[in-house]
Amino acid sequence: MSVTTRRMQDLTVEDHTITVPLVWGDASDSRTIDVHAAVVTREGGESLPFLVFLQGGPGNESPTPFHSPSAPSWLDDALAHHRVVLIDQRGTGRSTPLGDADLSLGTDAVVERITHLRADSIVRDCEAMREHLGAATWSVLGQSFGGFTTLSYLSTDAASLEHAYITGGLSAIGRHPDEIYALTYDKMRTESERYYRRFPEHRDAMRRLADLAYSGGIVLPNGEVVSVSRLRSLGMLLGGNDGWQTLWSLLEHDPRTNAFRYDLAAALPYGARNPLYYVFHESSYADGFATRWSAERVEPDDFRDDPTLLTGEHVRREWADTVPGLQPWREVTLAVADVEWPQLYDAERIAGSGVRGAAAVYVHDVFVPWEFSMETATLVPGIHPWITSEHEHNGLRAGAVLPRLVDLAHGLRVR
């Protein structure tokens, strides 16, 4: 265990690192990992209750607490009522990260390690951190995958939660990944057509880029020869409030220019900095199933035929061959796709948790369909849904979502 303190302006950040089992619940396995959390306190807020933030992903560390381009926009609102615990989920950031160096252990060993990085283990880490901080209970804010993890929290340790706030993260429970990805294709079809209605000339621009990619004519600065499927994954941008602006700018550029090549490299999802996001992504929807490249298997015929229909978080196995930073992870990725994942959620315990809170459910969410979110919302009557078309999936970072959820959870007038 270690604790260090940093200060900037009116914020104090205590860095806490604890050692926990890699495999929770197996006393015969002596392997351990470190889990890091930054506890952020505003001056005068030293006695406020804790709010732990669970990041989206999976495979991404928590944001930086100090005022910088990576500092979360919602932090000021959260600090008005809480001390905020920014935990690096196991395998990321300063919590014994999993990276390229670990590949030397061999495919089987890395895959086995990845099986212990799921939401249920993250919950156990959170419980260890809560006890380390001396808190009898705390509240949780789960964004996207962090919301999935919050549902796992409600399945096992709901008594530790004072309030639960979920943004774009009411995951489907008991549904096969195929069902979820099939519906997200419908969402992406709608968003693609909506974009082309606003900018009809960009459909031809996208078609020209797809032809260029098909012939191997788009090469990024890192040497990646961009495939058509990688190009279409720019649809991820349509999942955010203002991502369409980045897409618009790209489609206005001449693809022969440095500006296009470098901007495209920056805009494409599933990069090498956080390979877990690619390797591990489909497993986040695996509530008792193997995924086996679910997004590929359920791709609709019109998406196969029309390269201008953009995709979202629909991972492709070919990227393990074509994306330089993901190529070392090829064998691991293929093996992870065949893992038979255990059930993650307990619907009965979630329904009986009694936890209070609020959840932002985005009508136009292309990653976490609101239809399945509303099914899940019926299990947690104490968590009030705010159903809105005002924001996309990144609403927590883009608008005043958290204050509204806090008001809802406390029965106050909605702002």
* Strands 32-42, 83-87: pairing kind: antiparallel
Q: How far is CA 60 from CA 9, 81, 272, 278, 348, in A?
A: 27, 26, 12, 11, 30
pLDDT of residue 398: 82
Helix, strand, or coil (residue 98): coil
Per-residue pLDDT of the chain (415 residues; tens, 9 = 90+): 778 888 888 899 999 999 999 999 999 999 999 999 999 999 999 999 999 999 999 999 999 887 555 578 899 999 999 999 999 999 999 999 999 999 999 999 999 999 999 999 999 999 999 999 999 999 999 999 999 999 999 999 999 999 999 999 999 999 999 999 999 999 999 999 999 999 999 999 999 999 999 999 999 999 999 999 999 999 999 999 999 999 999 999 999 999 999 999 999 999 999 999 999 999 999 999 999 999 999 999 999 999 999 999 999 999 999 999 999 999 999 999 999 999 999 999 999 999 999 999 999 999 999 999 999 999 999 999 999 999 999 999 887 899 999 999 998 755 4
Q: Which residues of 97-121 are buried (b: 16+ CB within 10 A; e: fewer)?
A: bbeeebbeeebeebbebbbbbbbbb
Give the rounded distance of the alpha carbon of 166 from its chain centre.
12
H helix intervals, 53-165:
75-79, 107-114, 119-133, 145-156
Among 132, 60, 44, smallest CA distance to 94 is for 60
| CB 333, CB 360: distance < 8 Å | no
Measured CA to CA, the distance from residue 226 to residue 322 in angstroms comes to 8
Among 311, 315, 310, smallest CA distance to 278 is for 315
Where in the chain are the domains?
A: 2-174+343-409, 177-336
H helix intervals, 139-227:
145-156, 177-198, 201-214
Task: Kindly state the helix (H) or strand (E) to which residue 405 belongs, with its residue range.
Answer: helix 401-409
| CB 38, CB 66: distance < 8 Å | no
pLDDT of residue 68: 58
pLDDT of residue 413: 53
| CB 38, CB 62: distance < 8 Å | yes
Q: How far is CA 228 from CA 196, 254, 288, 311, in A?
A: 18, 17, 32, 11
- Structural tokens at position 324: 């330089």
pLDDT of residue 10: 86
Measured CA to CA, the distance from residue 400 to residue 412 in angstroms comes to 16
Measured CA to CA, the distance from residue 40 to residue 6 in angstroms comes to 10
pLDDT of residue 69: 56
CATH number of the domain at 2-174+343-409, please? 3.40.50.1820
Measured CA to CA, the distance from residue 336 to residue 12 in angstroms comes to 40
Measured CA to CA, the distance from residue 414 to residue 404 in angstroms comes to 6
Integer distance in angstroms from the first to the last C-alpha of the chain? 42
Say what the alpha-carbon torsion angle 37, 41, 46, 51 is, to the nearest 10 degrees: -60
- Structural tokens at position 196: 């082309």
Measured CA to CA, the distance from residue 369 to residue 326 in angstroms comes to 28
Among 406, 335, 405, 345, smallest CA distance to 375 is for 345
Give the rounded distance of the alpha carbon of 205 from its chain centre.
30
Q: What's the alpha-carbon Rg for the chain, to the nearest Å?
A: 21
Among 180, 239, 247, 244, smallest CA distance to 393 is for 239
Measured CA to CA, the distance from residue 103 to residue 100 in angstroms comes to 6
Place of tokens 């910088």: 68
Write down the pTM of the prediction: 0.95
